[in-house]
Structure 1
């Protein structure tokens, strides 16, 4: 079905991010297992729990907005997950891999931040106020995760740990 209205666009974007979050629930345990920094592994585990809550929030948005999601696959997230997996496959476990998977995870977070910001704006325009508030809640979680990853990256990239 072609996208003709703002509501169609909202449904498509929400369907796409739902797919993205499902894919992420499969990728985050792999990132946690690959991490050698215990704080980083814990951050991925915590974000997995948040992601599961975000999926539930999307379900709430669907229910209160009285819409139906489409069956779509988020190819953007597929590529981002694949990028992270390539890092895991190609880099020896240790601080360099930790830095690489932080970078891969931040790409995911930036994609999600952009997506949830757009969705919240669309929800507001469409009068889905309660849905907008749920989407903004997720947006704040994604921003907090990005900040945590930035902090861990700064720790991980100290010259004492990784050399030149």
Structure 2
């Protein structure tokens, strides 16, 4: 579909991020399983539950648009997840694996933060304030997850990987 307006671009980006979130639903359990640090494992499991909520919010926004929630393959997330999958096959100590998992997860979070930030701005521009509020809620959760990952890295995971 040609994007002839910001509204069209908004819809296309919603399809892309729906795909990204659905891909993440499959990846997070694998990341949790690969983590040895219990706090990191719990963080991945918590974010899995949040991600289910992100999908629900996106589906609600599609409903506001009178559109069926259809995902359009997010190649960026596909690449990030593929990179993370390759990382999990590395021969690494549990401590180093945890540090690498945090790095992979933060790449995903930064991608999502950029995407949701754009969507919030676009939703406000096209006067879809309710959608913008839902997207802002997700954006805030993504930023919080990124901050928690940084905290885990700084609270000892990176130091254990160094030792």
Aligned-pair CA distance for 1:65: 3.1
Aligned-pair CA distance for 1:3: 1.3
**In the aligned structure 2, how far is the partner of 1:137 from the partner of 1:34?**
29
Q: Which moved more, 1:13-22 or 1:61-70?
A: 61-70
Q: Which moved more, 1:34-43 or 1:82-91?
A: 82-91
Aligned-pair CA distance for 1:92: 2.6
- RMSD value over aligned CA atoms? 1.2
Moved over 3 A (4+): 67-71
Aligned-pair CA distance for 1:70: 4.6
Q: Which moved more, 1:64-73 or 1:145-154?
A: 64-73
Question: 5 Å matches for 1:99-110?
Answer: 99-110=99-110
CA distance change for structure 1 residues 48 and 27 in 2, over 3 Å: closer, same or farther?
A: same
Counterpart contact for 1:36–1:93, Cα < 8 Å: no
Q: Which moved more, 1:42-51 or 1:90-99?
A: 90-99
Aligned to 2:59: 59
**In the aligned structure 2, how far is the partner of 1:93 from the partner of 1:101?**
12
Aligned to 1:128: 128
**In the aligned structure 2, how far is the partner of 1:39 from the partner of 1:150?**
12
Q: TM-score, normalization: structure 1?
A: 0.95
Q: TM-score, normalization: structure 2?
A: 0.95
- What secondary structure is seen at the aligned counterpart in 1 of 2:89? helix
Counterpart contact for 1:29–1:48, Cα < 8 Å: yes
Matched positions, count:
162
Aligned-pair CA distance for 1:2: 1.4
For structure 1, the residue ranges without an aligned partner over 5 or more in a row are none
